[in-house]
Amino acid sequence: MSKSKKSNVQNIYGLSPMQHGMLFHAVMDETSPAYVEQTVMTLSGEVDAGAFKQAFQQLIDRYDILRTVFVYKTTKTPRQVVLKEQDADFKFTDISGMPPSEVKTYLDSFSRDDRERGFNLTKGPLMRLALFKESDERCHLVWSFHHILMDGWCLGILFKCFSRYYGSLTGTSSPPMSKVAQYGRYIKWLDNQDKKDGLDFWGKYLN
């Protein structure tokens, strides 16, 4: 890791068992989109692309896990590295001049290519947004992320938080104010657990 990259490091810790498994399979087949999660939404009403990007950046700034990359080639055991700063990967495209009959085919093609593009786990960012303006009253959003960051259940939480940030920027709501528990606390909790006790418990339970 170069000196400039080290200066951007906020925290370093291990992986959860689930993350270890995902990393193993991702390294075994780097071209597989198996762990690329993607949600496609249609948004009604006028959308401010500038505020959209800014709200996404605020979301990344709020949650450590969204600024995390994974190091495994130069370490004895894999580690996840939380960066102090990471620019949002946001793409805006105006397709309002496209014939309506071609929009679905275009979006399907983009979504497929975006999944196949995958993510670089060692560099990040591991989440990205693409916003497409079909008309003044209709936009389409493609939200993609690597499963090693979170599961699909978390997306609703993030989208609610994102909506609050976007609303505060456009004057329709207030931003989230409460502090959030960062993922590193969970990893620390895991590290303090007795693994043998855990294996014994689940062994008996499954039997």
Reply yes or no on whether the pLDDT at 1 is more than 70.
no
Reply yes or no on whether the pLDDT at 9 is more than 60.
yes
Per-residue model confidence as pLDDT tens digits over 37-57: 999 999 999 999 999 999 999
What is d(CA 116, CA 66) in angstroms, rounded to the nearest whole number?
20
Reply yes or no on whether the pLDDT at 134 is more than 80.
yes
Selection from 155, 170, 186, 165 nearest residue 62 by Cα:
165
Per-residue model confidence as pLDDT tens digits over 154-205: 889 999 999 999 999 998 888 877 888 899 999 999 999 888 898 999 999 9
Per-residue pLDDT, 2: 52
Selection from 86, 80, 81 nearest residue 61 by Cα:
86
Per-residue pLDDT, 6: 77
Which has more pLDDT, 131 or 178? 131
C-alpha dist (Å) from residue 187 to 12, 62, 177: 11, 18, 24
One-character DSSP codes across 95-143: -TTS-HHHHHHHHHHHHHHHHHH---TTT---EEEEEEEEETTEEEEEE
Per-residue pLDDT, 99: 94
Tokens for 186, please give them. 């969970």
Per-residue pLDDT, 114: 96
Per-residue pLDDT, 118: 93
With beta carbons less than 8 A apart as the criterion, state whether 71 and 6 touch. no
Q: Which amino acid is at 66?
A: L
Tokens for 72, please give them. 């495994």
What is d(CA 204, CA 192) in angstroms, rounded to the nearest whole number?
22
Tokens for 188, please give them. 């620390």
Residues 6+ apart with CB under 8 A from 28: none
Selection from 190, 194, 193 nearest residue 14 by Cα:
190
Per-residue model confidence as pLDDT tens digits over 67-114: 999 999 989 999 999 999 999 999 999 999 999 999 999 999 999 999
Provide the whole-model pTM. 0.88
- CA atoms lying within 13 Å on the CB side of residue 146: 26
